[in-house]
Amino acid sequence: MTESNLKFNFGQKVKSLRESFKLTQEQLAEKINLERDTISKIENGRRFPSCASIEKIAQTFNISYSLLFSFDTFDNTKNYDDALSLELEGLSDKDKEFILSIIRLYKNTK
């Protein structure tokens, strides 16, 4: 992976997480102590965050570093556990409980 691909993919992951948590760029910037313009540049792949900012991003979204740097799509990786974890991020406990009930219902019909 080239440096520009890494910046772009990382930025897209941050944007996706931010949107799933229903945060604006300004709100995310405030949480991790950066300027909104810096968040925009990160999301667009024009800037890469410092280690300290990466740590704050991971903490803000309650995500592991490995998931933060996992850029493969669900269809390509077949890593269902990671894919499910990513899809559940940002959902309320009530939504997660609902999805869990669907999974249990599905398993009981097998």
Return the percent helix, strand and coil in the chain, to nearest 5. Answer: 70, 0, 30
**Ramachandran sector of residue 45 (left: φ over 0; alpha: ψ -120 to 50; beta: rest):** left
Question: What's the mean pLDDT in 84-101?
Answer: 85
Q: Residue 89 in contact with residue 17, Cβ under 8 Å?
A: yes
At 76 the pLDDT is 41
Quote the tokens at residue 28.
Answer: 């995310």
Average model confidence (pLDDT) across the chain? 87
First to last CA, the chain: 41
Query: What is the per-residue pLDDT across 18-59, written as a single tens digit (0 to 9) for each?
Result: 998 999 999 999 999 999 999 999 999 999 999 999 999 999
At 90 the pLDDT is 76
60 pLDDT higher than 70? yes
Nearest of 75, 79, 98, 78 to residue 88 by alpha carbon: 98
Domains of the chain and any CATH numbers: 3-108 (1.10.260.40)
Percent of the chain with pLDDT over 70: 88
Nearest of 52, 9, 49 to residue 39 by alpha carbon: 49
